[in-house]
Amino acid sequence: MQNKNNAVELIKKFQQLFTNLNHKEIAERLVKLVVAKAVISRAVLVVERDSHLYVEAIASQQESELLVNGITTSLNRLNYLPHQHIHQVFDSGKPQALDTDQIQLMGAMFTKKGCNACYLHPILENNKTIAVFYMEAEHGLTSLIKAVNELDSVWTFSSLLVRQVIDMWHHEEQSERFRLAEQALWASETYLNAILRFSPALISVKDLDGNVVLASEHFKQMANIDDTGFVGKNVFDVYPKDVAQSICDIDTATKTKQQTYEVELDLMHKDGSMHTYLMVKFPLRSKDNRVFGVCTIGTDISERKLAENALREQQSRLNYMAFHDSLTGLPNRSLFYDRIYHGLARARRGNSKVALMLLDIDRFKNINDSLGHDAGDLMLKAISTRLNEGVRDMDTVARLGGDEFVVVLEGVHDIEDVMFVANKLLVTLARPMEISGHEITSTVSIGVSIFPEDGEDTDELLKHADIAMYKAKEAGKNNCQFYTKGMNATAVNYLLLENDLRRALELNQFTLHYQPQIDLKTGELMGVEALVRWQHPERGLVSPAHFIPLAEETGLIVPIGEWVLREACRQQKIWLDAGKKVGKIAVNLSPRQFRQKNFPGKVEAILRETQLAPEYLELEITESCAMEHAGETINQLNQLNQMGMYLAIDDFGTGYSSLAYLQRFPIQKLKIDRSFVNDIHDDMNDAAITKTIIGLAHSMQLRVVAEGVETEHQAEWLRQRGCDQAQGFLYAKPMSPKQFESHFHGGRFCFDGTVIPLESYKMGA
């Protein structure tokens, strides 16, 4: 009877302890009861839930203070627990006790510091371990086992309480899942309503009878659909009969074949505008995979269609631009190569000939220089039109670039036919044409090569036609020449020279020589003129008379001129730093170089790069260049003058200067052309012109330099007429920097060696 009363008291006690607690609080209360034993320093409740082990609560005694934490954390995430032994107890259902030696074998990561004994007590339900109490003690194992035995009442009720913990946890999980499902359902309905209300797409769901049971607000923008919307209607209620029948047929196919269909439809809006929609239709299936309706999503692709059309048009334009010359509209080099490739293939199959005619406009540079590039472009257009009119439709007229055109004649059987076409083109192109208010007469030089006699491929035919064309130019221009194997090699040499010239800059084959400029009164060195030389690896030293005109014609004069200017400034800076008094270094500017946009800016950049002060640099332009566009010249010269450099007019007397413009040029020097100095004793006109130039310059406060002085008599005549400076072979030939430097002694230039002292000529005079 006493035992029964004790059991009843125990049950009442546990009911009071665990009434109205959640699963977390129950776990905390259980480990708190265990650690209440003074021997037990730490107690951990591990519960199996859904085949995973979780640490539900931990209680520990620290400095007479009881700490209890409900954590519900996976066992694998926690340290200071003997994971392997816990798993063994769950598997076997039998308790385990660990003494000090066994604890030391496990290592420091599996128990708390100071632990000398461990005990793992399983909680069973129907012979299955549902939980394990893990306990530690700082005392020995015997004391710990005794304390565990004294907790029989806790172990008795633990299976019920642990089951309650597991069930409450499952209930809470189910409640959370239900809450999340309810929230997801609410969100789905909200999203669906938002999509149907605000989506710019036509979204609808039809049942198997074709009636609309769900539709987006965007349908209200369609013609014939009122503010009540599309729901409750079918396609025949709102669309024209032909459109409705088309939609109905697609819906039927979607239902019967149970597959997705895409179709583009043009639908009218209420504002009368026609829009293109991409309609995607797919069947809706139930859980048992039966089709119960059709969903349609229609996207307005009107802008995309417009963009695609614009893109196709742009692509077509780009393709045209890629294969046609932008100025004349003729086939460009790429399309020319393609057409002649096929033309040569046809000629091989048909055993016929192909004539390649290369045309170059005579003196075209004069048109650009005198009337401007706009006039040149107009002439190129007019010539291309005349070329097209002068050949058959089956023939090809192409522009290779610049003022070069090519004509390809297919199906040639007689050379006389080619000559006939060539003469026809010469006559046609020689007719005057109206360009920028001027009547211009232009001619062309034509070179012809014939397939297969003059070449088997395009490049060889072009090369030989080019040689023949240069031969036509040598013959006086405005004529046609056929390529022959015995043709003079001059044209070939000219081509090779051009190719070499293009590589000369890259290979550093240019050098500068320097010619002194002497004060006629004192004999002192006043400056030097930088003169470019080309040291060709095979041809030797190429004369400027040969490559400068070629550089002007090809446009290479611009990069060459920039190199000359930079190199001259660099050398001048070296001499100045070495204490050599050179005076000013003069650099000739070509018309193309001088006419560049922002040329003063380029000069300034070179001076900054070489760290040369502008007062040590003198720039020379020819008289004809200065007068060509006088207003532009004044503007350029003013900018250069404001930078502080010396400016000179070269070859003065050979052009047609206007005194009104001349006095506006911010120049400091005139250079008399060597053609007047050569015959200054024998030609009264040259003497008069030279005397007039000296007087004119002095009246304008300008200094005068005579070029090409080669004799004592020329020097004395110039000195007596007041000429300030002279340069020429009388004093020194152009010298390399090393040769020039050899004449410096104590920082001053001395006349010895190949340099003739001026005083000797004074004495001889």
Query: Within this chain, do residues 666 and 598 fall inside the same structural domain, yes or no?
Result: yes
For residue 414, the model assigns a pLDDT of: 85
Question: Model confidence over 2-16: pLDDT tens digits?
Answer: 454 455 555 555 555
For residue 18, pLDDT over 70 is answered with no
Query: Within this chain, do residues 461 and 584 fall inside the same structural domain, yes or no?
Result: no
Q: For residue 757, is the peptide bond before it cis, meaning its omega torsion is within 30 degrees of 0?
A: no
For residue 762, the model assigns a pLDDT of: 37
Question: Is residue 184 in some structural domain?
Answer: no
CATH number at residue 449: 3.30.70.270
Question: Is residue 122 in some structural domain?
Answer: yes
- What is the pLDDT confidence band of residue 493, given thresholds at 50, 70 and 90? low
CATH number at residue 739: 3.20.20.450
Last residue of a domain, one of 423, 455, 488: 488
For residue 75, the model assigns a pLDDT of: 93
Question: Model confidence over 546-590: pLDDT tens digits?
Answer: 788 778 877 888 999 999 999 999 999 999 999 888 999 999 998
Query: Within this chain, do residues 141 and 98 fall inside the same structural domain, yes or no?
Result: yes
Q: How many domains does the chain have?
A: 4
Question: Model confidence over 110-141: pLDDT tens digits?
Answer: 888 889 999 999 999 999 999 999 999 998 99
Question: Is residue 185 in some structural domain?
Answer: no
Query: Within this chain, do residues 741 and 604 fall inside the same structural domain, yes or no?
Result: yes
For residue 399, the model assigns a pLDDT of: 95
Query: Within this chain, do residues 689 and 657 fall inside the same structural domain, yes or no?
Result: yes
CATH number at residue 136: 3.30.450.40
The proportion of the chain whose per-residue pLDDT surpasses 90, expressed as a percent, equals: 48
Q: What average pLDDT does the chain have?
A: 87
Query: Within this chain, do residues 484 and 551 fall inside the same structural domain, yes or no?
Result: no
d(CA 510, CA 547): 11
For residue 214, pLDDT over 70 is answered with yes
Query: Within this chain, do residues 453 and 411 fall inside the same structural domain, yes or no?
Result: yes
Q: Which residue has the higher pLDDT, 367 or 482?
A: 482
For residue 327, pLDDT over 90 is answered with yes
The predicted model scores a pTM of 0.43
Tokens 């008399």: give the residue: 672
Indicate the burial class of 671 (C-beta count within 10 angstroms; 0-12, 13-18, 19 or more). Answer: buried
Question: Is residue 42 in some structural domain?
Answer: yes
For residue 369, the model assigns a pLDDT of: 75
Most confident stretch, 207-211, 224-228, 622-626 = 207-211
Query: Within this chain, do residues 709 and 756 fall inside the same structural domain, yes or no?
Result: yes
Q: Which residue has the higher pLDDT, 365 or 610?
A: 610
Query: Within this chain, do residues 133 and 258 fall inside the same structural domain, yes or no?
Result: no
d(CA 480, CA 471): 9
CATH number at residue 225: 3.30.450.20
d(CA 55, CA 75): 6
- Percent helix, strand, coil in the chain, to 5, is 45, 25, 25
Query: What's the half-sphere exposure (Cβ side, CA atoms, 13 Å) at 580?
Result: 21
For residue 274, the model assigns a pLDDT of: 92
Question: Is residue 316 in some structural domain?
Answer: no
Query: Within this chain, do residues 119 and 219 fall inside the same structural domain, yes or no?
Result: no
Query: Within this chain, do residues 473 and 527 fall inside the same structural domain, yes or no?
Result: no
Q: Which residue has the higher pLDDT, 734 or 436?
A: 734
For residue 759, the model assigns a pLDDT of: 43
The least confident of 202-216, 447-461, 742-756 is: 742-756
Last residue of a domain, one of 172, 190, 210: 172
For residue 14, the model assigns a pLDDT of: 55
d(CA 52, CA 77): 12
For residue 760, the model assigns a pLDDT of: 39
Query: Within this chain, do residues 137 and 221 fall inside the same structural domain, yes or no?
Result: no
Determine the average pLDDT of the residues in 340-353.
92
The string of DSSP letters for 251-303 reads HHHHHHH---EEEEEEEEBTTS-EEEEEEEEEEEE-TTS-EEEEEEEEEE-HH
Q: Are 191 and 171 in contact (CB under 8 A)?
A: no
Which domain range does residue 738 map to?
504-764
For residue 42, the model assigns a pLDDT of: 95
Question: Model confidence over 281-315: pLDDT tens digits?
Answer: 999 998 888 899 999 999 999 988 888 888 888 88
Question: Model confidence over 385-437: pLDDT tens digits?
Answer: 999 999 998 999 999 988 999 999 998 888 888 999 999 999 999 999 988 88
For residue 758, the model assigns a pLDDT of: 43
